[in-house]
Structures are given as structure tokens and as C-alpha cells.
Amino acid sequence: MHLARFPRARFAHLPTPLEPLPRLGAELGIDLWVKRDDCTGLAGGGNKTRKLEFLLGEALAQGADTLVTQGAVQSNHVRQTIAAGARFGLKTEVILEERTGSKAADYMGNGNVLLDKLMGAAIRYVPSGADMVAELEATATSVRQRGGKPYVIPGGGSNTVGALGYVDCARELIVQADQMDLKIDRLVTATGSAGTHAGLVAGFAALSVDVPILGFGVRAPKAKQEENVFNLAVATAETIGAAGRVRREAVVADCDYVGEGYGLVDQGVIDALTLAARTEGLLLDPVYSGKAMKGLIDQARKGAFKGAKGGERVVFLHTGGAQGLFGYQSVLEPALG
């Protein structure tokens, strides 16, 4: 795939560990492993750091002096983007959408938001349902009018440039598995803005790796989520010289575990967070990895991961975001007793 063709700013802690989860796996009747992309190192890490290596590479190549991006109030992507800007001396202006409707003090001021402020970003809040593309352009226009040179990063860093980070992750994962003589039967992750999921699909397609990827949705309905992932995977494959390699059937999203909506926590999410923490000391986040684990747990208990010779070997890609737990204290603490 020769990703060195693309501008890249290297700052992630890579490769991230690939580790067994024996106690949680035994609880679920599967051979469960975790790809620790919560350990990428940038301001607490997370999956967006891989994307930002390529996004920052392009921003720096273009001579940008200001990063402009958006996300929900407790956005992991926004936190990591601000950190990347700080790392390279770039200003960062962000738009936070009040997507969940929560006005709780911890949600609005703790967790990722506290870290955003600590790192010095200019923050603007907009109501739920705002046109975030238009808001990004308005901020970029304002930067230009002040004499700055903005580089606009879409929500989640999810475009063909950002998705290159997960093309690289697909390669990294297979190299690790081969070194460990570890046959992977299925890869499971959260799927939201589509960049992580699409990059993995494109990467596996380019490598001719036949490992099914299951994305547990966190916001959009199944048809829309799969369409978003497929379109970005196709575009990403074209970017890396693997046009025509992505098959539509390779894109699978299960969006039955979204619950009441994006960023809203239900008992199933709390149970998933608790089980992962108490069996493995593994900290998940309430919005992405927690909902993906909620889906994985339920599907495993229903026998969905039973291979021909017993339980499948499943790798759970941990997208990070435990920093967001502190924004949900008022929701989580009463349920934990």
C-alpha cells in the first residue's frame, strides 16, 4: 500500500498492543482479544490519533496555522485534535454540538471538555441539529478574515485522508497476528463517523485479508451507516491504489444497540462498562466502545460468535475515550452503587 506516499506527522504510540481478554472471554464463551487503540498516546490516546497523523501531515504540508473541527460536547476526536495542534504549535478552533441535550454540569464541564480547555482551544457551542458542515465553514471563514490559514477536519477525522490511519492499522493488526500465530476469525469495533470502520475495510481489501468486520453503530440507522462506511471505504481504496477491491458485503453494521440515541447511556452500556472493568480492568467509554461492547456481549451470549469448532476468536478494537467517563459521573455513579 506504500503509505509513505502520503504526508504524515508521526506522534502516535504504535504499534498498539494486541492482548488477550481471558476472563471476559470466558464469561462470553469466546476467545476474546483487544486491540488497544486507547493506547495511542496523544492526550490520553484513542482511535482519532491514527487519523490525525495523516490529517496533520496534510495540514502542515499546506502551511496551515489553525485546525478547525467539530464534534459533540464530549468528543474524543476534538480532544485529540486540540492536542495534535498543541503538539505542532497550531491554533485550534472547535465547534461543540449539544447533541445529547444534556445540560448536566459534569457533561458540559468535565471529562473531554475540561481537557479541551486545559489545552487552550477556542470553543464555540451550537445547539443539537445544527448544520455542522456550515458551522465548520463559518469558523474557517472567520479564521481567514483574521489573516489565518485554516485546515478543516471533518467530524471524527473521517475522510479519505483520516481513514488512511486505519488502513495502516489493518496492516499493523495482521502483522501482529502473524507474528503471534494468531488466526483472527472476526474484528469488532464501534462505527460512528465511519472513518475507522472504512479504513479497516479498505485496508483488509487491499491486503486480500478475509476477516469479517462487524461495526456496532452508535448513532445512524443500519442502512445509512453501512452506506456511509461503504462509500468512504471505496474512496479510500481508490486513494491507496486498490480501486474495485472493496465489496459491499464486507461492510456490516449492527445498529440495534444505539439505545435512546447518540451519547445517551442505558443500563446495557453501564453493564458493559462494569463487566469489562471488573473482569479485565479495561476502561471503555460511554459513547463508542461501551456501546460496541454492549453489542458484543449480547451477541456473544446469543451464540452469534460460535464458529464451526466452538467459539470464534474475536478481536475487539478499543477506540479509546475513557476520559469521557468523567463527563457522565452523574449518570454512572447512581447505577454503580
Cell of 214: 462487524
Q: Which residues contact 34 (CB under 8 A, 6 or more apart)?
A: 18, 19, 20, 21, 282, 315, 316, 317, 318
C-alpha closest to that of 79 among 47, 35, 37, 126: 47
Cell of 309: 469448532
Known catalytic membership, residue 75: yes
C-alpha closest to that of 193 among 150, 132, 268: 132
Q: Which residues pair with 33 in a beta bridge?
A: 20, 315
DSSP characters over 110-151? STHHHHHHHTT-EEEEEETT--HHHHHHHHHHHHHHTT--EE
Q: Angle at CA 63, nearest 5°, toward 69 and 124? A: 25
Catalytic residues: 75
